Amino acid sequence: MGNKEAVKKLLGMLKGYRKIIALIIACLLISTGLNMCIPLLSRGIMDYGFIGGDKELLIKQVIGSLLIYMMIAVIDIIKEKKRVDISANIQYSLSEQSFQRLMRIKANYFSSKNYAEILNNINIDIGNMTSVADEGVFFVVTQAFSMVGGIIGLFILDYRMTLMVLLFIPVKAVIMKHFAKKRKRIMDEFITESEKYAGWFGDTVGGVREVKLFGIQENKRAEFADRQLSVINKQKKMNMLAQWNGITDNIIVHLLTSLIYIIGANLVFDMQLSVGSVFAFITYSAYVTGPISAILNIGYLLSGIIPSTKRYYEFMALEEEKENEEGMTEPSSVIWNYRIFLFHMKRIKRYCPILILLFQREVKRC
């Protein structure tokens, strides 16, 4: 399965929630429109309220800003409730599908993987795929509107500083692309190491009697430390990469803000711009740079989701047992005999491990 097909599968999970998604996007658009009014009110509070000395206007605009923030909070609560419902429904749907597949899958699949490994893989994949309904993903969808509004606001205030803000877009694009590629590689390694650890853990727990019988607890502890540390190290790398991604983004934003202060101060001293306009410009620049980070970070987010999506649907594509006329699974005689053999061998191995050793010795003599 390629990356494009995996993305199509992810988007296909959201098809049944079109109306709810439309409501969420409408809420985001309304809150975005209300947020656009905040910088203009802040400029009026600064220029006409504090500097101009108009106390009555200052109070009115402060109350107006407070009401807008309260409206945004109510809209965000409605939006978040609907988003959480979608996320929970997707998680349940994926879990149900995987369970149904396990019930119908061919028996030889369980001979190559133990139950702990299967459960670990399914849980990791479902958790990653469910994040397609996270707040960040829906946030990206409407950031284009916020970005357009922010650019319009910037040009209204001063076109020269607006061009400076727009120059930061390609810089951020290169940095985010680098982090996305690195995270995808680490995520692939993490999934592989987690799968190996889960398989080893299931086999070890299943054979705990034999471990005690032969006195190899210390060997198993050493194996545990080696395998678990490998998984933890991959997790640490992903966490640190996320921190570096956030830190780099913050440095770029603060660098841009510092340049706006310096250039804006010169324009204020030359009487070409008001103090309130500088602060409004900083707010509008955040409306532009914030969406850029979110839009470019979609590749960073997908780099963790796509590997799990591929593995999940590869599991869902595994061959099932054939059904007879009564709807019961009808495994082939070879598989059926193999399952009976495994069942009896497990019982013998569990209760009479010495018999296994004697049997192996007699086979060698023959």
Phi and psi dihedrals of 278, rounded to 5?
Answer: -65, -45
Model pLDDT for residues 212-231, shown as the tens digit of each residue: 888 888 888 888 888 888 88
Give mean pLDDT, residues 330-355.
47
**pTM, whole model, 2 decimals?**
0.59
What is the distance between the alpha carbons of residues 129 and 133, in angstroms, rounded to a whole number? 8
pLDDT of residue 67: 92
Model pLDDT for residues 76-116, shown as the tens digit of each residue: 888 888 888 888 888 888 888 888 887 887 777 767 666 76
pLDDT of residue 288: 78
CATH fold label, 3-321: ABC transporter transmembrane region fold (1.20.1560)
Residue among 158, 162, 138, 12 nearest 83 (CA): 138
pLDDT of residue 166: 81
Model pLDDT for residues 138-173, shown as the tens digit of each residue: 666 667 777 777 787 788 777 777 887 888 777 877
